[in-house]
Structure 1
Amino acid sequence: MGGGEGGEGARALDQTPTWAVVAVCAVIVAVSILLEGILHHLGQWFSKRKKKALFDALEKVKSELMTLGFISLLLTVTARYISRICIPAGAADTMLPCKLSRSSEHGEGHGRRHLSEEPAYFSCPKGMVSLVSTDGLHQLHIFVFFLAVFHVTFSAITMSLGRAKTRIWKEWEKDTSSITYEFSADPSKFRLTHQTSFVRQHASCWSKSTIMLYVVSFFRQFFRSVRRTDYLTLRHGFIAAHLSPGTRFNFQKYIKRSLQDDFKTVVGISPPLWASALAVMLFNVHGWHNLFWFSTIPLIVILAVGTKLQAIIARMAVEITEKHTVIQGMPVVKLSDEHFWFGKPHMVLHLIHFALFQNAFEITYFFWIWYEFGLRSCFHDNFEFIIARICLGGVVQFVCSYITLPLHALVSQVSIQYRHCSPMFSNYPTSVCTDTYFNNQTVKAIYL
């Protein structure tokens, strides 16, 4: 029997004990207050530790969660009215994610839970069906919840892996205080460019060919993407361009703060990213296998970005050999926006942002399908493709978080018109910041 008409399995709220309603509401309220408290204390901890960028990132995550909550609320309030919108049956049979099953037209869909269909007093005219059933809207409701949970989870993973990578550079930063480093960076010391470690590693015979340079750069991103000589050379070039000679500057701490600034950008969800997510759902049509092909897009983007960043390092080494036969002290790399695509350093971070979001969305989509319809549902008719998708998703998340994003935080320092003086440096005295450009300005430094 239908809900509210005596059916013991589906009672309406007016036939449900008040103690049961209160018990459920109490649990939901308690969980919500606990989550809000955790986020609040996490924000306070970021503020006390002067982690302005992470605090802003947390605020952005909370804003995105509020947006998803509002979407969920709209789905709940408008579900009855949306389900009463009728469309021709022919239109309803097009672009289906699963093969058409006539049983689904009578409320016997593939979901793991089925809500009661529209009340008996409402039905679409003959030859018409509901735009989206009440059951379908409930499943969308669950999907929004999955988006919220996975958005927080993937954001935490991204930041954790990125910070783990920058910790490795802390030892290299300590080495800059050693006598060995002082000897290698001695301004009175002259040597041939090809004798320096940085040039030897990047400016070999293969670097004279643009194709070979990018081929080698492609593979180099997987094996020690940032070497000690790369870090020290970029550090030396940055300090030479922006600080006074002899300044004691903790470049690793500065890169860590720059990574936090990048993280603040990549946790947001812009309208174009929402459009890309909707495109994934739109073209998930039975027989097209588009979910697999969509999952390759983040991989291609991340590999292209990683290759470009490695090629920038190699190009700087080549420029040193082309302009100098003999150098004094350590090699000084030339800072220029021209190293980046179209001379726009910001473009690289936007591509990383797109790849991270698209990858996280597709993995979320997979787990939602698994939860709602089962692992071997019609959505996963080609299970080999599904396994490949998940493996690709894991690879992209790791490579992007642990390799590409930290590499970008380091290499982006060679741009002239990229980093801005952020309030995150307000706790460091004796520094000046007057412009959003580094060119001819004194950077807001982090002193040892």
Structure 2
Amino acid sequence: MAVESKGRSLEVTPTWAVAVVCFVLVLVSILIEHAIHLLGKWLTKRNKKALYEALEKIKQELMLLGFISLMLTVLQDHISAICLTEAIGATWHPCNKKKVKNVDDNDHGRRRRLLSVHSDHDETTVRRVLASTSYDKCAAKDKVPFVSAYGIHQLHILIFAIAVFHVLYCVITLALGRTKMRKWKAWEMETRTSDYEFSNDPQRFRFARETSFGRRHLNSWSHYPFLLWIVCFFRQFFGSVPKVDYLTLRHGFIIAHLAPQSHTNFNFQNYIKRSLEKDFKVVVGISHAIWFFAILFLLSHTNGWKSYLWLPFVPLFIILLVGTKLQVNIAKMGLRIQERGEVVKGTPLVQPGDDLFWFNRPRLVLHLIHFVLFQNAFQLAFLAWTVYEFGLKSCFHDKLYDIIIRITMGWDPP
């Protein structure tokens, strides 16, 4: 009867080896904690309250990740001890059964050669290797484990990769967004010049369609929803936030929330930057719904579903839809100006409203962007995990275009 072999236990392991491993783990943990603490102090000193709250959110996610890791470690043997019939265990595989069988045959051949090498040295070693590779509680019952211990170990690495890639992707997106907003600083400084005061004289009367904002949005096609959506779809690829829209939205925000005399002192660009940092706290977290979507993503990687041909394109479709909707909202604000009268006084006054958004919920756009960020991070994390665990050429991406699609779609930030 074969005796289960789980490897060398701590009672026969050198204490110096155990001490070295513990020392490295503790040292790395202390360094990471100290780095996070210093970053938090720096953000507090720079008065970056929103980013500091985002950092606290990341710490919470790391704690949740550690708890998941602990549960997987503690329950690993119990989960792998759950047995299923071979018929149930043969359903919904991520890879083609024939390809997996060929891989298993190759592994079995390598295992036999490994045993033959050991047999040349020590008969006791042969028995130990044979026991560790052939013993299976479920196999003795002609069944398969619910998830093997090694499979749980691989799942542990995948969850860690998803969390890390999600945080990194959000940080990179924030950096790109702030870089793009730097050119708005020059537009903001322009509002304090005499030329801007002259061109936007509040006592000046003009036709709405003759203003810069009107020439951009008040055209013959603007009154037809179908043509409006088509034009706005292509417009998002050529300067999503042009100067005229920025200055008009700035003016509308000041009139709605501040005194009209504040237009020369208020820094709208800094306000948008702070809003971006505040929204970053939302998107960097992995909510309950996002974890649920992660489970659905894993479920979709089933052989025959061809998820690599449609799943990576879901975030692309969503972000294009959101970009088009935002462009349509600006155009509708221009149409509302014309509906109030053909003649405007001073700068055209736009009036944003919740009714411009889907279901009167502006934050729905933020949630969609959050979903897109996570989905893109998931694609990159899944690709990195499969390459790390199974190699570049595996059943998870046996076609070259699968890898190309995942990389190109995954590196397409909002």
TM-score, normalised by the number of residues in structure 1: 0.82
Q: Which amino acid aligns with 1:204?
A: N
Q: What is aligned with 1:94?
A: 91
Matches within 5 A, 1:162-201: 162-201=177-216
Residue 305 (str. 1) matches residue 322 (str. 2):
yes
1:82-138 CA deviation, whole Å, 9 max, x = no partner? 1111011111100001122347779959xxxxxx96894844443311111111111
Aligned in 2, Cα 1:335/1:102: closer, same or farther, shift over 3 Å? Answer: closer
- 1:226-275 CA distances to partner (integer Å, 9 max, x unpaired)? 01110000000010111112112111111111111111111111111111
Which residue identity lines up with residue 340 of structure 1 in the other structure? F
Structure 1 counterpart of 2:81, one-letter code: R
CA distance in 2, matches of 1:203, 1:382: 48
| Structure index of larger Rg | 2
Q: Is contact 1:4–1:11 with CA below 8 Å preserved after alignment? A: no
Change (3 A) 1:126 1:3: closer
Q: Does 1:38 align with 2:35?
A: yes
Given the alignment of the two structures, is residue 157 of structure 1 paired with residue 172 of structure 2, yes or no? yes
Structure in which a larger fraction of residues adopt helix:
2
| Residues 228 and 330 of structure 1: CA distance in aligned 2, closer, same or farther (over 3 Å) | same
Measured in 2, the distance between the counterparts of 1:183 and 1:117 equals 84
Q: Distance in 1 between matches of 2:164 and 2:3?
A: 31
Q: Which residue is equivalent to 1:140?
A: 155
Is the CA contact 2:312–2:405 (under 8 Å) kept in the aligned structure 1? Answer: no
CA distance in 2, matches of 1:122, 1:334: 69
The 5 A counterparts of 1:339-354 are 339-354=356-371
Counterpart of 2:285 in structure 1 is 268
Q: Residue 56 in 1 paired to residue 53 in 2?
A: yes
Contact 1:376–1:383, Cα closer than 8 Å, also in 2: no
Per-residue deviation at 1:385? 2.3
Indicate the residue corresponding to 1:361 in structure 2.
Answer: 378
Assess if the C-alpha contact under 8 Å between 1:118 and 1:134 holds in 2: no
Amino acid at match of 2:61: E
Q: CA offsets per residue over residues 348-385 of structure 1, 9 Å max, x none?
A: 11111111111211211111111101111111122212
Rounded Cα–Cα distance in structure 1 between residues aligned with 2:248 and 2:59: 39
What is the percent sequence identity of the aligned residues? Answer: 50
Amino acid aligned to 2:292: A
> Is 1:71 the counterpart of 2:68 in the alignment?
yes
Paired with 2:61 and 2:133, the residues of 1 have a C-alpha distance of 32
Matched residue count: 387
Aligned to 2:117: none
Take 1:212 and 1:15, find their aligned partners in 2: how far apart are those partners?
76
Match of 2:223? 208
What is the aligned partner in structure 2 of residue 221 from structure 1? Answer: 236
Shift of 1:4: 9.7
RMSD of aligned alpha carbons = 2.3
Whole-angstrom CA distance in 2 between matches of 1:125 and 1:189: 90
1:337 correspondence with 2:354: yes
Asked if 1:29 corresponds to 2:46, the answer is no
CA distance in 2, matches of 1:162, 1:334: 25
Structure 1 residues 251 and 264: alpha-carbon distance in aligned structure 2, compared to 1, 3 A threshold = same
Contact between 2:4 and 2:132, CA under 8 Å: does it hold in 1? no
Question: 2 CA distance for matches of 1:28 and 1:107?
Answer: 36
2:170–2:373 Cα contact (<8 Å) kept: no
* CA distance in 1 between partners of 2:279 and 2:138 (Å): 52
CA contact under 8 A between 1:199 and 1:317: conserved in structure 2?
yes
Helix, strand or coil at the partner of 2:261:
coil
Which sits farther off after the overlay, 379-388 or 346-355? 379-388
Counterparts of 1:288 and 1:184 in 2: how far apart (Å)? 59
Question: Cα offset for 1:323?
Answer: 2.0
CA distance in 2, matches of 1:362, 1:263: 20
Matching residue's letter, 1:202: H
| Deviations 1:389-442, CA, capped at 9 Å, x for gaps | 2111112x2xx1xxxxxxxxxxxxxxxxxxxxxxxxxxxxxxxxxxxxxxxxxx
TM-score by length of 2: 0.88
Letter matched to residue 222 of structure 1: F
Hey, what's the Cα distance between the residues in 1 that align with 2:85 and 2:9? 31
Unaligned runs of 5+ in 2: 109-130
In the other structure, the counterpart of 1:258 is 275
Instruction: Kindly provide the amino acid, as one letter, of the partner of residue 213 in structure 1.
Output: L
> Partners of 2:257 and 2:22 in 1: how far apart?
57
